[in-house]
Amino acid sequence: MKVLVTGANGFIGSHLVTELADRGHHVTAVDLDDKNIDPRAAFLKGDLFSSQIDFVGGRVLPDVVIHLAWRDGFNHYAASHIDGMARHFYFVKSVIDAGVKSVCVMGTAHEIGYHEGKINENTPCNPLSYYGIAKNTLRQLTFAYAKDKPVSVKWLRAFYITGDDRHNHSVFTKILEAAENGQKEFPFTKGTNQFDFIDIRDLARQIAAAAVQNEIDGIVNVCSGEPVSLKDKAEEFIARHNLDIKLNFGVFPQRRYDSPVVYGDNAKILQILEKEKSDD
């Protein structure tokens, strides 16, 4: 299958390209740089906002487009989220208009805002950050435009991503850096909040599996489906890496949009993975 991935040089994108190549797909990786991109992929250099990515002229139309590209994803109040939202929509629209039959866009649990408990595709959204607002709006626009079009749209909603810690931007990366710099204590929240953690390699497998099938579409949570406390996850991380550092709990307050427990309903992705397994 011919798969085009935007944001392919990023944290998720680089792992996804490798996963897709491992599965035998023909991958075209789109980004401004290819330093983290698996060499098995064809590289297409381009800024989605300032240059036109041509899907038809001189190129074979991809079977699947996976749109991961997004600026400042770790700065939830960056103005770029609002500035770029419409341009992301027009890019997705152009992909649908070109005739691509399967379009996948990366979502985030930040679309939901404050919520306690399990998140499914029908959970109401009331985002509280620029990042969440922009992603939520892009999802609404994408589904509204694609409603009567001959295209399968998957909105792949991710939660808390771990793994590959030297290239991640998570709190676990910061703990690792602090320990390597000789710090003996790391300032922390109370750590009682429970989140849905997923390793980046498992996330890449879920995204790839969801993207290349067309039986299940709409909002698909790509997640573990299990809530784990931040405290337990951080202490497990320290023990697993044998780090000489301790967490100083209660230094930082929790963010106002972090609930006591929030996790994804993974019924759809489990169904996709089970079908994939039975087809092998």
Same domain, 238 and 219: no
Tell me what pLDDT residue 73 has.
83
Whether 54 shows a pLDDT value over 90: the answer reads no
Same domain, 110 and 174: no
Residue 18 CB contacts under 8 Å (≥ 6 apart), including other chains: 38, 204
- The yes-or-no verdict on residue 48 having pLDDT over 90 is no
Q: Tell me what pLDDT residue 64 has.
A: 96
Average pLDDT over residues 190-200: 95
On whether both 66 and 90 belong to a single domain, the answer is yes
Residue-number span of the structural domain to which 131 is assigned: 2-161+196-224+263-279
Structure tokens at 30: 């789109």
Report yes or no on 256 lying in a domain: no
Amino acid at 39: P
- Supply the DSSP string of the chain, one letter for each residue: -EEEEETTTSHHHHHHHHHHHHTT-EEEEEES--TTS-TTSEEEE--TTTS---SSTTSPPPSEEEE---S-TT-TT-THHHHHHHHHHHHHHHHHHHT-SEEEEEEEGGGTBS--EEE-TTS--B--SHHHHHHHHHHHHHHHHHTTSS-EEEEEEE-EEE--TTT--SHHHHHHHHHHTT-SEEE------EEEEEEHHHHHHHHHHHHT--SS-EEEEES---EEEHHHHHHHHHHHTT-S-EEETTSSPPPTT--SBEEE--HHHHHHHHHHHHH-
pLDDT digits (tens, 9 = 90+) for 202-232: 999 999 999 999 999 999 999 999 999 999 9
Reported as a pLDDT band with limits 50, 70 and 90, residue 74 is confident
Kindly state the average pLDDT of the residues 246-252: 93
Instruction: Lowest mean pLDDT of 22-36, 56-70, 110-124, 180-194, name the range.
Output: 56-70
CATH code at 29?
A: 3.40.50.720
Domain identity same for 14 and 150:
yes
- Domain assignment of residue 14, yes or no: yes
Judge whether 255 lies within some domain.
no
pLDDT, average across residues 270-278: 93
Residue 258 in any domain: the answer is: no
Predicted confidence (pLDDT) at residue 59 exceeds the cutoff of 80 = no
Residue 242 lies inside a defined structural domain of this protein? yes
Judge if 206 and 176 occupy the same domain: no
Q: Identify the pLDDT of residue 57.
A: 52
Q: How many domains does the chain have?
A: 2
Reported as a single tens digit per residue, the pLDDT across 77-123 is: 999 999 999 999 999 999 999 999 999 999 999 999 999 999 999 99
98 and 117 both lie in a single domain: yes
Q: Are 4 and 28 in contact (CB under 8 A)?
A: yes
State yes or no: is 131 an active-site residue.
yes
Asked whether residue 242 falls in the same domain as residue 123, the answer is: no
Q: Are residues 100 and 169 in the same domain?
A: no
Residues 182, 142 within the same domain:
no
| Pair (136, 97) in one structural domain | yes
Q: What is the pTM of this model?
A: 0.93
Burial track 213-250 (b if 16+ CB lie within 10 A, e otherwise): beeebebbbbbbbebbbbbebbeebbeeeebebebeee
- 132 and 189 in a common domain: no
The mean predicted confidence, pLDDT, of the chain is: 92
Measured from the Cβ of residue 82, the count of other Cβ atoms closer than 10 Å reads 14
pLDDT at 169: 81
In a domain, 95, yes or no: yes
Residue 257, domain member (yes or no): no
pLDDT at 51: 57
**Residue 59 phi, psi dihedral angles, 5° rounding:** -130, 150
> Of all residues in the chain, what percent carry a pLDDT higher than 90?
84
For residue 85, is it within any domain?
yes
Q: Are residues 24 and 153 in the same domain?
A: yes
Both ends of the chain: CA-CA distance in Å? 16
Q: How far apart are CA 252 and CA 231, in angstroms?
A: 13
Q: Out of 131, 145, 257, 263, pick the active-site residue.
A: 131
